[in-house]
C-alpha cells in the first residue's frame, strides 16, 4: 500500500470516528481537554512531597490516600446531586471548588494542613466525574457511546500528555506555579461549561397509579418511572460485581501515579525523568485510542476486560526489571495498551447496566471504585516500598491483574447470553455483563399461532406484558 493510500485510509478512519456526534458532546469534550491540560496535583504530588518537601514515601502515600478518601466521600454524593440537582450545576460546583482547593494546596507547608487540603482537593475533583459521564450518556445515542467515551478518554490523555511533560519542567523551578496553573485551567473549564453546556437530565415521567416498581429496569404497573435510590444500586448484584472488579484493576493503574514516581525517585531519577516516562502513557493513548476503539467497538466486552486485566498486571510487574528511563517507558507502553482497552469498555458497560434516571447514582458508585483505589493504592505502595522494596509492589500488581482476569472469567461463566430479538435493548434495562450490544438485525424466531380473540385482547391491552421491551425516552 502506498503512502498516499495509507494517509487516505487513516483520514477516513478518523472522520468516521468523530462524525455524527452532537455539538453538546464536543463542548463537553473540549471542557475535558482544558481540564486535563492543567493536571498537576495527581501526577506530581508524590514527587512534590518526597523530593521538594522532604517527606517520606509513607507520608506521601498517606496524603495521596486522603486525596482518594475525599473522592470516595464525594462520589456517591455527587451521583445523587447529578440525578437530583442536574448535571450542569453539579459540574459547576465541582470545578469551581477544585480550582479554589488546588490553589490553596500550593501554599500549604505544615503536614496536617497539606493532608487536610489534599482531602478537599480529592472531594472536589472527583465530584465532577459522575456528572460528566451521565451527561455524555444523555446526549449520545446508545450505539455511539463506546466511541464517545473513547474520544473523551482520548481528550483526557491528550491533555495529560501535554501537561505531564510540560509540568515536569515547571516542577524543576516551581511546584507552586504548577498548582496555580492547574487552578487556572480548572476555572477556565467551569467557565466553558457555564457558557456552552445546557442541562441534559432527562425528564421523569409522572407516576399515574400504583406503587412504583423497584429495581434498575423496572417500571410501575401504570407506566411509572422506576424509583432509583442508592439501595437500588447496592442491591444490583451484577453491577456491584463489575464495580468490585473495576476496583481491583484501578488499584493497579493507580500505581502509575503513586508507586512509579516514588520508585523512580528511589532509583535516582528526577521529576523530568518521571515526566518523560509517564508522558508515554498519554502520547500512546493519543496515537492508538481511535484505531484500537475501531477494533474493539463490536467485540465481546468480557474478553476485552479479561485481556486488559492481564496486560495491566504484568505490564506493571515488568517494572521490577527496569533500570533506565527507556525501560520504564517500555513498561508504561504495555500497561497503557491495557488502559486503552479497559477504559471505554468498562465505562460503556456501566452505562448499559444503568437505568436512565439513575445514571448519576450508578456512575457515582462506579467512580467510587476508582476513588477507593486512589485511597488504598498509595497506602499499599508506600508501605510496600518502605518495608520490602519496589520489586514486591510490582509483583503484587501482577498477582492482582491475574486475579481480576479470573474474576471476569468467573463472572462470564455465571451469566447467560441474552436472546437476540432483533430489537435494541432500551435504556434502563440491565444487560448481562459482557453480552454483545444488540443491533437491529432481523433474526428468525418462532411465532406461535394466535387466535383472533387473543389478538383483539392484546390490541386492547393498555399495559404491556411483563418483560416486554419499552421504548426509552430520547435524552
3-class secondary structure for 187-201? Answer: HHHHHHHHHHCCCCC
Residue 442 has a pLDDT of: 35
Residue 9 has a pLDDT of: 63
Residue 400 has a pLDDT of: 94
Residue 181 CB partners (closer than 8 Å, separation 6+): 38, 40, 167, 170
Which grid coordinates are listed for 454? 387473543
Averaged in consecutive runs of 10 residues, what is the pLDDT profile of the chain (475 residues)? 61 69 88 78 76 80 81 83 89 91 89 90 86 87 80 80 72 81 88 87 60 42 59 84 91 88 84 83 81 77 88 93 89 92 83 80 85 81 85 93 90 50 36 36 38 42 36 33
The closest of 351, 306, 327 to 152, measured between CA atoms, is: 351
Sign of the torsion formed by the C-alpha atoms of 126, 132, 134 and 137: negative
Residue 251 has a pLDDT of: 92
Residue 307 has a pLDDT of: 92
Residue 351 has a pLDDT of: 81
Dump strand ranges (E) for 60-207: none
Q: Which long-range contacts (CB under 8 A, 24 or more apart) does 186-189 make?
A: 186/35, 186/38, 186/95, 186/98, 186/99, 186/102, 187/95, 187/96, 187/99, 188/34, 188/38, 189/31, 189/32, 189/34, 189/35, 189/95
Amino acid at each position: 500500500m502506498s503512502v498516499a493510500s495509507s494517509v487516505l485510509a487513516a483520514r477516513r478512519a478518523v472522520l468516521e470516528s468523530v462524525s455524527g456526534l452532537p455539538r453538546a458532546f464536543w463542548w463537553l469534550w473540549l471542557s475535558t481537554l482544558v481540564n486535563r491540560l492543567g493536571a498537576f496535583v495527581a501526577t506530581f504530588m508524590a514527587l512534590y512531597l518526597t523530593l521538594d518537601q522532604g517527606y517520606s514515601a509513607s507520608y506521601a502515600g498517606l496524603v495521596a490516600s486522603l486525596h482518594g478518601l475525599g473522592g470516595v466521600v464525594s462520589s456517591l454524593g455527587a451521583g445523587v446531586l447529578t440525578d437530583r440537582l442536574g448535571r450542569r450545576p453539579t459540574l459547576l460546583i465541582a470545578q469551581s471548588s477544585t480550582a479554589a482547593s488546588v490553589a490553596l494546596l500550593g501554599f500549604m507547608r505544615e503536614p496536617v494542613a497539606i493532608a487536610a487540603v489534599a482531602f478537599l482537593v480529592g472531594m472536589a475533583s472527583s465530584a465532577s466525574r459522575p456528572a460528566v459521564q451521565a451527561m455524555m450518556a444523555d446526549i449520545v445515542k446508545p450505539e455511539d457511546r463506546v466511541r464517545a467515551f473513547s474520544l473523551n478518554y482520548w481528550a483526557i490523555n491528550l491533555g495529560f500528555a501535554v501537561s505531564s511533560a510540560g509540568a515536569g519542567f515547571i516542577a524543576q523551578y516551581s511546584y507552586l506555579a504548577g498548582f496555580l496553573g492547574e487552578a487556572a485551567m480548572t476555572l477556565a473549564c467551569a467557565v466553558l461549561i457555564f457558557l456552552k453546556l445546557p442541562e441534559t437530565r432527562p425528564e421523569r415521567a409522572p407516576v399515574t397509579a400504583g406503587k412504583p416498581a423497584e429495581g434498575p429496569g423496572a417500571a410501575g404497573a401504570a407506566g411509572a418511572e422506576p424509583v432509583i435510590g442508592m439501595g437500588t444500586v447496592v442491591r444490583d448484584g451484577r453491577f456491584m460485581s463489575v464495580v468490585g472488579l473495576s476496583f481491583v484493576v484501578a488499584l493497579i493503574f493507580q500505581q502509575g501515579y503513586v508507586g512509579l514516581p516514588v520508585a523512580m525517585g528511589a532509583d535516582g531519577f528526577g521529576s523530568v525523568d518521571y515526566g518523560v516516562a509517564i508522558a508515554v502513557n498519554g502520547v500512546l493513548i493519543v496515537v492508538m485510542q481511535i484505531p484500537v476503539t475501531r477494533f474493539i467497538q463490536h467485540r465481546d466486552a468480557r474478553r476485552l476486560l479479561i485481556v486488559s486485566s492481564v496486560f495491566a498486571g504484568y505490564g506493571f510487574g515488568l517494572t521490577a526489571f527496569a533500570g533506565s528511563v527507556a525501560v520504564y517507558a517500555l513498561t508504561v507502553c504495555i500497561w497503557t495498551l491495557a488502559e486503552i482497552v479497559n477504559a471505554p469498555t468498562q465505562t460503556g458497560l456501566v452505562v448499559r447496566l444503568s437505568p436512565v434516571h439513575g445514571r448519576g447514582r450508578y456512575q457515582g458508585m462506579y467512580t467510587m471504585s476508582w476513588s477507593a483505589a486512589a485511597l488504598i493504592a498509595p497506602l499499599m505502595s508506600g508501605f510496600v516500598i518502605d518495608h520490602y522494596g519496589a520489586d514486591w509492589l510490582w509483583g503484587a500488581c501482577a498477582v492482582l491483574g491475574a486475579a481480576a482476569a479470573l474474576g471476569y472469567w468467573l463472572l462470564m461463566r455465571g451469566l447467560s447470553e441474552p436472546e437476540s430479538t432483533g430489537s435494541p435493548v432500551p435504556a434502563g434495562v440491565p444487560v448481562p455483563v459482557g453480552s454483545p450490544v444488540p443491533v437491529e438485525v432481523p433474526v428468525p424466531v418462532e411465532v406461535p399461532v394466535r387466535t383472533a380473540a387473543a389478538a383483539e385482547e392484546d390490541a386492547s391491552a393498555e399495559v404491556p406484558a411483563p418483560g416486554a421491551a419499552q421504548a426509552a425516552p430520547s435524552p
